[in-house]
Amino acid sequence: MTTYQQAVVDGSRIFYREDGPKEGPTILLLHGFPTSSHMFRNLIPALADRYHLVAPDLPGFGFSDAPDRKRFRYSFENLAKVIERFTETIGIDRFAIYVFDYGAPVGLRLALAHPERITAIISQNGNAYEEGLSQGWNPIQKYWKDPIPENRAALREFLKPEATKWQYLYGVENATVVAPEAYELDSALLARGGNDEIQLDLFLDYASNVALYPKFQEYFRTKSVPLLAVWGKNDPFFLPPGAEAFRRDNPNAEVRFYNTGHFALETHNHEIATAIRDFLSRKLNDVDRRKK
């Protein structure tokens, strides 16, 4: 049964979902923009018979605290540090990471800092290559190059309920299978006072992730961590070439595409859960055998 808990990290509450046997292999699930651990609500029970699953809400997202911007700089470096301390606080030291969207640079920064802790990587539309960035990033990239108030204000369009709903439905074959509470919850949490400025800060700082892409790619080459990419091929932000590129640095990476959009779990939860079970059962057993 999934439990809903809080851990205190640096004085702030981090909300998280947890399920599965604690003695089993752990998977740390890291969400992206504009969502929260809610996006894993169906995946967690699909894997919890065998795996220990932990899904935190990043600071400023979901039901975690949103520290004041005057005392907490909203950067991906700081988000990764919070998640690192979160894992230490709840006592998980080795785990696979499931990374999606913003969760990719957070999780991969954690992997760079502590490669010995990462047993496998599952990337669901979690990009680490420039060829994976679509033209949908153009307004944000314009802000990176010229961070003036006008370019910042233009990005508020991404924070509107219509934009969130569009992210969920774009590229989906059958929109009637997408639960409306998913995008409605995201929109409600985005609308909290001050959250718009947090999100705009993170839009600006995303440039720091692109600057780290070469280091992420070197990590894939040198560490050869088992890697599975499960990708909604119609994603308007992260293109299929970003998934295919994993094989360039890790020839053993496994890449699977699904005929859906950005939030692939909304439409292909069963297929992705099955792929993860197959992948981890093979790869984690291989790791155990090599250790022996």
- Residues recognised as catalytic: 262
Contact (CB, 8 A) for 16 and 5: yes
Contacts 24+ apart (CB under 8 A), 152-159: 152/200, 152/204, 155/200, 155/203, 156/196, 156/200, 158/34, 158/199, 158/203, 159/34, 159/190, 159/196, 159/199, 159/200
Q: How many CA atoms lie within 13 A of 34 on its CB side?
A: 30
Please return the burial class of 176, using the count of CB atoms within 10 Å of its CB with bins 0-12, 13-18 and 19+.
exposed
**Closest listed residue to residue 210, CA positions, set 249, 241, 242, 251:** 242
Contact (CB, 8 A) for 1 and 28: no
Query: Six-digit token pair at 96?
Result: 């696979």
